Amino acid sequence: MTNPYATKPARAAFIDRRLAELYPVTPIPLAHKDAYTLLIAVLLSAQCTDKRVNLVTPHLWTVADNPADMALVPVAKIQGIIRPCGLAPQKAKAISELSRLIMERHGGAVPRTFTELEALPGVGHKTASVVMSQAFGVPAFPVDTHIHRLAQRWKLTAGKNVVQTERDLEKLFPAERWNQLHLRMIYYGREHCTARGCDGTVCEICRALFPGRRRAVRTRK
């Protein structure tokens, strides 16, 4: 029997449809109340779980939850609060400096362009993409480790790096679907197609797309 999902577009259409069924609602995993607190939460999530970030940020917000106040907080105090998130010295310095720059360059408002966001300390393309998509509704497809792994297992990309994966996914899916699909893939990757729980042959979507697959898929980081 011919596999109906032999082509990338066919696989993409099935994935989009099935994930929408599994996750009709797509809340943002990181707790926040505005663009600034989302920006800080995403920055803290680097090499840290969202769950841990959500435990730490309430303590940080009691000290400062806006760039004007945060710019006045000593870096050492920020560092002490965010230590559980890892990489605290670098993250604390970045939080302090980006808060100051938001006040000086952007009138206290988080900038709304990729170029301006990525010019802030500690803000890379992925962080900027999350803020642009989830805070401002601009179509973006941030690629984290879950999405990078799934895109390879589902043969949507060759997966040489996250930059290539992002470009390949943007070509396969309509721009109006990116923001929700990004979150849906993260949810699915965490719950069903984990690094240890599925090797490309176990979870529902892997089995549906590749019923004849017998060997584990080795993914690139």
Catalytic positions are: 126, 144
Structure tokens at 95: 């939080």
- Nearest of 105, 119, 74 to residue 92 by alpha carbon: 74
Q: What is the phi/psi pair of residue 144, to 5°?
A: -105, -175
Q: Residue 147 in contact with residue 139, Cβ under 8 Å?
A: no
CB pairs under 8 A, 24+ apart, for 106-113? 108/66, 108/67, 108/68, 109/35, 110/35, 110/36, 110/39, 110/67, 110/135, 112/136, 112/138
Q: Return d(Cα 187, Cα 29) in angstroms, integer.
A: 9
Query: Where do we find the tokens 């995403």?
Result: 42
Q: b/e per residue, 7-30, with b = 16+ CB within 10 A?
A: eeeebbebbbebbeeebeebeebb
Contact 14, 8 (CB under 8 A): no
| DSSP element (H, E) containing 209 | helix 204-209
